[in-house]
Amino acid sequence: MTPVPSMTEDSTRLWEWYRQARTMIDAISTKLAPQQLALNLISVFSLLALGLAVLGLYWIIAQIVSQRAREIGVRLALGASPRRVLSLILGKGMMLVGLGLGTGVLTETALAPLYRSLLYRVAPTDLTTVLLTAAVLGSAAFPCCLAPALRAARLDPAEAIRER
């Protein structure tokens, strides 16, 4: 005759099994942890790159405005409206943005075969992704061009001409 296991022995084994059991969410989270880390790092570095690009564009447009302050002052003194000056500076800045976006799209298309294996369920030349990326970059660049353009439109013509 085999001995019957005691209740405490069964409950100990059951408790041990319960402690080792994991939910499906925990199992999936553990399995996908490396991909999640990579995604988080890519997101952080992408935002950092976008921030640096925005700061660089702002600095370039602000530098152009400061170098052309005398010209802008003369334009305003001769009767150009602040709206015209605003559109001039904003147009130059957005032209730079457009050239950058065009160069980026061409480069992305040329280099697509090199990073095709890194993408999951998205083609490297997916039109929606490319347009969405261009829209995000253009939207981030617009305020960078607008701030120096507004400052240029508010220049005092006499002060701008006298400065240099």
| Under 8 Å between Cβ of 52 and 142 | no
Domain extents in the chain:
53-163
| Residue 5 pLDDT > 60 | no
Residues 6+ away with beta carbon under 8 Å from 164: 69, 70
Provide the terminal-to-terminal Cα distance of the chain, rounded to the nearest Å. 109
Q: Could you tell me the pTM of the whole model?
A: 0.73
Residues in the chain: 164
pLDDT tens-place string over residues 38-61: 989 999 999 999 999 999 999 999
- CA nearest neighbour of 156 among 83, 61, 82, 64: 82
| Under 8 Å between Cβ of 77 and 161 | yes
- CA nearest neighbour of 53 among 13, 101, 10: 101
Res. 11 pLDDT band, cuts 50 70 90? confident
**Residue 117 parent element (H or E):** none
